[in-house]
A and B are shown apart, each in its own frame.
Chain A
C-alpha cells in the first residue's frame, strides 16, 4: 500500500501524525511422533495511526487499510488525545519522534519458499523418528516457526523507513519415561534456536544428528542422580545465560519500568534512576551490550518503532551500570541515556521499551580453563523453568540437564538442576567468563510485557559463565 500518499491525504488537527503499517505471516508446523499435529498460518495486517495533540500521543489501530478507514482512525485518535491531554503524565514534543529514513533487510541464504510445506513436514517427521532413540522415549516433537514480516513507517515530520525480516525458530524435543521417572530434553530450551535467518537452518543431516543427541540425553537423564543441594560453583551454558540475562538484567534496566509504567503488571525494578553511573551491577568481568547490529540475531533492526536509529551501546561496562534500556520517550522523561528500543509487538499495539538483542560480551577464559578451575560445582544447560519477582531481584531458574564438576572435570549427569539467587549479588559473583570460542547466540519469540499486553522477539548471546557460591538444588 502507498502509505506516503495516504498520509498526505489525511486531514486532522494534530501537531504530528505517524502511520505504521505491519504485515506479518507466521507459519507454524508441528509434528508429534511422526504424525502432523499442526500446520497453521497466521496472517496479520493493519495500520497503527498515531497523533500528537497538545503534548499527548494517542493511537488508533485499524485493520481497515483504505484512506477512509485510516482517516476515520486518525479522527478518533485526535479525540482521544484531546480528551487525555489535560491528564498527561508527560507533555511530549516532536523530539519524541526523530526523523528516520532508510531500509533494513534481515540476512538469509535460503528463501522461505525453498521448502514446500510437504518437504518441511517430511523433514520434521524424520526428526521425530530420529528422536526416538529408545523405547523409553514416549513422546517426540519437532516444530518449525517461520515468520515473514514487513513494516513501513511514515510521519508528518518526514520519517519514511521500511524493514523486512525472515525469521526462523525451530525445536526438537523428546520425553523419556521409565516407571515414575519422566525427563524431557529440547534443543537448547524451547525455541531458543530463534534467528533472523533462512531455511538453511533445516539442513537435514545437522537436524537429524541433533535429534539423536536430544533423544539420547533424555534417556540418559532417566538414570541420572538428582542435582545435589548446596552452595557451590555454578557454570551456566550460553543457552541458560540467555534467560539469566533476560530476566535479571534486561527487564531490570527497562527505563519505563524504572519510571513505574509497569508497576501494575510486570513490575518495578530494583534499579533506580540515581543508580546509572554508580551501581556496580556485577563483577568487573560483566559487560552487557544492546546490539541490534549482529547479523542473524533475532532482534536486529535499523530503527525502532519511534524512528530512533539502532546502534550498539554498552549498558554495563566492567560491571558498572552506565545506560538504560529506554527509547526516546523514556529518555525524555528520565533524562537518562538510552537506546533504540521503543518497539511494538504488531500494528495493534503502541511501542514501549523492550529488549532487542541484549548480550554479555565474551571474556578471555577458555572452556577448559573455566571448567578446570572448579573443584566442586554443577554445570547446567537449557532452560526449563523461570520465575523472578516484580523488582527483578529474587529469581529461581531450572534447567533440563546438568553435570557435576569435580576437581576440574565434568563427571556425572544430574537431573532436575535448579538454582536460586538475588540479581545483584549473583552478578557480582561472576568469577570467570568464557572467550569467543564459547560465545553462542540465541533468541526467543516470547517476551511478555506491557498493558495492553505485548509479546515480542528478543535475542541474547553469551559465553560460558562461572558463578561463585550459588544455592543449587534438585527435584522433589
Chain B
C-alpha cells in the first residue's frame, strides 16, 4: 500500500499547475471482523478498503474530497486525476476562503509496525474454545491499518500498524456484566487464555444479589475506563480553540471566567506511546507532548493551523476538528490497592455509558453507569448496583469534588470502527470523588 500511495502522490503532485497547492492523505485497512454472541459466531467477514483524500487550493479558494481506491495503480491514477480535475472546476466557483492554509510542511516520517496476527481462517478456532460456557458477546478485529500524507511542499509521512483486539462483555444469567478488551500486536494464545480466564473469574463478583440505590450524591470511585469516557467529552466542545472562540465549549468558563479544575487534574496530548501517528491529515506534525490542563489550570488548547490563521495565534498542529488524538491524564498517588479503603462507603463504577453534554456551556454531563458497578461499605464490596443515571459537571467531577487520582494510568484503546478502525487510545488513571450526582 505504501508503494501505491507513493506512486499516486508523486504522479498527482507532479501534475499540479502554477498557483495550485495540494495535500493528499491516505487511509486504509484490511480487517477481519468476527461478531460474537453467546460465545458463537454471529457474523464474520473482512473489509479491504482504502481512501485517498485531497485538500486542494487554487489562489484563495479551497475545497476537499476523498475517493475510494481499488488498490491497483492504473485504475486509481485514473480516479485520482479525474477527482483533481473535478476539484479544479469546483474551486473556481467558490468564494475566497480567508482562512485557508497552504501546506508548507516539508517533514517526512516512516513508521511501520508489523505484528504477528492470526490468519483469518484460524481466528474462530483460536478464540472461541477458550470461552467455554461463558455468555460472551463482542467483536474481534484484526489486520493492518494504513495512514499516509503527502503535500505539494514536499512533506511525506507513512504509518502502518498491525493489531488485533477482542472487545467483549461477559454476562451472568442475572444479566450482570463485566467488560474487557484483549488487544495487541503479536498473538499469544496462552496470554489470551489467561486474560479471558481472569475476566470470567471477575464475573463471579457480579453474582452477588444486586442492591438498588436511590438517586442522590455519593462518594464515588470511577475506574480508568470510565474516566476515559469522561475525557472523550473534551474532544467535543472541550479543548478545541475554535470551539472556545465560538462560544461552544465547556472550557469557555476556564478561559473567560477564570474557572479552574482540581490541582490533581492534568491533561495532555502525548504521542510518546506511539499508538497513533503524530501527523495530522494535512501532514503537520504535532509536538510529542502538549500539556492542555495543568494542575487544574487551562494551559493551552488544541489549535489547528486554520484556527491559528483565523485568530492570529500559533498552531500546535491539531487535527481539523481539534479533538484529542492521544489523551493522557497524569496519574496521582492513590495506590490501586487502597481504592476501596479510600472510598470507604460509596459507589464503585467500572464503566460509564452514553455520555452527552446536558449543559455544555456549564460543563454538565449526563450518562449512565454500566457493567461492574458496586455498592461499597467500609472498604468492602457489598453488592453490584442497578445501573444509574448521573448528571454532574466536569467542574465538580474533575474540580472541587476530586479527592484522589490513582497511581497507575491504564491504556484504554479506542475500539471504534465508524470511519474505519481507530488507532487512538486514552491513557488515564481512576478517580475518587467526594461526591457524584446520581439522578435516576
Q: Does A88 contact B (CB under 8 A)?
A: yes
Task: Identify 11 new A-B residue pairs, CB closer than 8 A, beyond the known A40-B63, A64-B72, A263-B37.
Answer: A35-B95, A41-B90, A59-B44, A117-B94, A184-B248, A263-B137, A264-B137, A386-B356, A389-B387, A420-B389, A475-B359
Question: Please, which residues of chain B bring their CB within 8 A of the CB of A122?
Answer: 95
Interface 1/0s, chain B 346-362, versus A by CB < 8 A? Answer: 00000001111111011
CB of A255 closer than 8 Å to a CB of B = no
Which residues of B lie under 8 Å from residue A260 when comparing CB positions? 37-38, 137, 171
User: In whole angstroms, how far apart are the Cα atoms of A182 and B359 in the complex?
Assistant: 11
Given A89-B38, A263-B169, A396:B358 Cβ within 8 A: yes
A268 interface residue per 8 A CB criterion: yes
Q: Are B37 and A89 in contact (CB under 8 A)?
A: yes
Verify A65–B70 contact, CB threshold 8 A: yes
| Among listed B10-18, B123-131, B197-205, interface-contacting one | B123-131
For B186, the chain A residues whose CB sits under 8 A away are none
Q: Please, which residues of chain B bring their CB within 8 A of the CB of A352?
A: 43
- Residues 62-118 (chain A) with a chain B CB within 8 angstroms: 62-66, 69, 73, 76-77, 79-84, 86-90, 116-118
Inter-chain contacts of B391 with A (CB < 8 A):
396
Contact of A89 among B40, B177, B364, B393 (CB under 8 A): B40
**A-B contact list, 14 entries, CB within 8 Å:** A39-B62, A39-B63, A63-B68, A66-B72, A69-B70, A77-B46, A80-B120, A83-B125, A84-B34, A138-B246, A138-B247, A264-B139, A451-B33, A475-B364
Among B148-156, B260-268, B365-373, B399-407, the stretch that binds chain A is B365-373
Q: Mark A170-193, 1 if CB is under 8 A from B, else 0.
A: 000001010010101000000000
9-residue interface stretch from A10-18, A42-50, A200-208, A309-317:
A42-50
> What distance in Å separates the Cβ of B32 from its nearest Cβ neighbour in chain A?
7
Q: Is the CB of B440 within 8 A of A394?
A: yes
What are the interface flags for A1-45 relative to B under an 8 Å C-beta threshold, 1 for contact and 0 otherwise? 000000000000000000000000000000010011011111111
On chain B, the residues within 8 Å of A35 by CB distance are 95, 97-99
Chain A proximity of B186: nearest CB distance (Å): 21
A residues lining the B interface (CB < 8 Å): 32, 35-36, 38-46, 56-66, 69, 73, 76-77, 79-84, 86-90, 116-118, 121-122, 125, 138-139, 175, 177, 180, 182, 184, 259-261, 263-265, 267-268, 348-350, 352, 385-391, 394, 396, 398, 416, 418, 420, 422, 448, 451-455, 475-476
The residues in B between 35 and 54 inclusive whose CB is less than 8 angstroms from any CB of A are 35, 37-38, 40-51
Residues of chain A with a CB closer than 8 A to B193's CB? none
**Chain A hits for B353, CB < 8 A:** 267, 389-390
B103 lies within 8 A of chain A by Cβ: no
Q: Is the CB of B65 within 8 A of A42?
A: yes
B216 at the interface (CB under 8 A from A): no
The answer to whether B66 has its CB under 8 Å from any CB of chain A is yes
A79 near B120 with CB under 8 A, answer yes
Give the shortest distance, in Å, between A22 (CB) and chain B (any CB): 10
Q: How far is the CA of A65 from the CA of B68 in the complex (A)?
A: 11
| Smallest Cβ-Cβ distance to A86: which chain B residue | B124
CB of A63 within 8 A of CB of B69, answer: yes
Q: Which chain A residue lies CB-closest to B357?
A: A385
| Cβ-based interface call for B345 (8 A) | no
- Between A80, A116, A175, A420, the greatest number of chain B beta carbons within 10 A of the residue's beta carbon is seen for A80
Q: With the chains together, A70 CA to B52 CA distance in Å?
A: 21
Per the bound structure, the CA–CA distance linking A357 and B220 in Å amounts to 41
Determine which of A36, A59, A76, A420 lies in contact with B95 in the assembled complex, contact meaning CB atoms within 8 Å. Answer: A36
Residue B64, interface by CB 8 Å: yes
B252 A182 Cβ-Cβ under 8 A? yes
Contact A43 B440 (CB under 8 A): no
A398 and B42 in contact, given A63-B69, A348-B47, A389-B389 (Cβ under 8 angstroms): no
Please name all residues of chain B whose beta carbon is closer than 8 Å to the beta carbon of A116 when the two chains form the complex. 93
- Name the A residues within 8 Å of B416 (CB-CB): 453
Interface residues on B, range: 35 or more
Partner of B94, one of A39, A42, A259, A418: A39
**B368-406 interface bits toward A, Cβ cutoff 8 Å, 1 = contact, 0 = none:** 101000000000000000011101010000000000000
Closest chain B CB from A150 CB (angstroms) = 14
**CB atoms of B99 and A40 under 8 A apart:** no
Cβ contact within 8 Å between A61 and B356: no
Q: B121 at the A/B interface (Cβ < 8 Å)?
A: yes
B residues with a Cβ closer than 8 A to A are 31-35, 37-38, 40-51, 62-72, 75, 83, 86, 90, 93-99, 120-125, 128, 137-139, 141, 167-169, 171, 175, 177, 179, 246-248, 252-253, 256-257, 353-359, 361-364, 366-368, 370, 387-389, 391, 393, 416-418, 421, 439-440
Alpha-carbon distance between A90 and B44 when the two chains are bound, in angstroms: 13
Kindly provide the distance from the CB of A142 to the nearest chain B CB, expressed in whole angstroms: 13
Q: Is A36 within 8 A of B94, CB to CB?
A: yes
- Do A42 and B246 touch across chains, with their CB atoms under 8 A apart? no
Knowing A36-B94, A139-B246, say if A396 contacts B439 (CB, 8 Å): yes
Determine whether the beta carbon of A452 is less than 8 Å from that of B417: yes
- Roughly how many angstroms separate A175 CA and B361 CA in the complex, as a whole number? 12
Rounded to whole Å, the gap between the CB of A255 and the closest CB of chain B is 13
Question: How many angstroms from the CA of A47 to the CA of B93 in the assembled complex?
Answer: 33
Q: Of B31, B168, B368, which one neighbours A389 at CB under 8 angstroms?
A: B368
Provide the residues of chain B in CB contact with A454, threshold 8 Å. Answer: 418
B359/A416 in contact, CB under 8 A: yes
Q: Are B49 and A348 neighbours in the complex by a CB distance under 8 Å?
A: yes
Neighbouring B residues of A45 by C-beta, 8 Å: 68
Chain B residues near A57: list those with CB within 8 A: 43-44
Known interface pairs A58-B45, A117-B93, A118-B95; A63-B65 also in contact (CB < 8 Å): no
A139 proximity list for chain B (CB < 8 A) = 246-248
- List chain B residues, Cβ under 8 A from A87: 40-41, 124, 128
CB contacts (< 8 Å) of B94 on chain A: these are: 36, 39, 117-118, 121
- Quote the shortest CB–CB distance from A458 to chain B (angstroms): 16
Q: Which residue of A lies closest to B370 (CB)?
A: A390
Assembled-state Cα–Cα distance A64/B49 (Å): 8
Cβ of B207 to closest chain A Cβ, rounded Å:
17
Quote the shortest CB–CB distance from B79 to chain A (angstroms): 9
* Alpha-carbon separation in the docked complex, A131 to B176 (Å): 50
Distance of A293 Cα from B276 Cα, bound (Å):
45
The answer for the CA separation of A386 and B358 in the assembled complex, in Å, is 8
Which of A62, A83, A350 has the most chain B CB within a 10 Å cutoff? A83
Q: Are A64 and B70 in contact (CB under 8 A)?
A: yes
Query: In the bound complex, how far is the Cα of B83 from the Cα of A164, in angstroms?
Result: 22
Top 8 A-B residue pairs of the complex, sorted by shortest distance between their CB atoms: A59-B45, A476-B362, A118-B93, A451-B139, A89-B40, A452-B417, A39-B63, A264-B169
Residues of A within 8 A of B248 (CB): 139, 175, 184
Nearest B residue to A393, CB-CB: B387
A396 to B364, CA, bound (A): 13
Considering only CB atoms, which chain B residue lies closest to A446 in the complex? Answer: B418
Please measure, in the bound complex, the distance between the C-alpha atom of A38 and the C-alpha atom of B421, giving whole angstroms: 25
Contacting pair B48 A44 (CB below 8 A) = no
- Contact, CB under 8 Å: A476 / B393: yes
Given the interface pairs A89-B41, A177-B247, A387-B366, the reply to whether A79 lies near B64 with Cβ below 8 Å is no
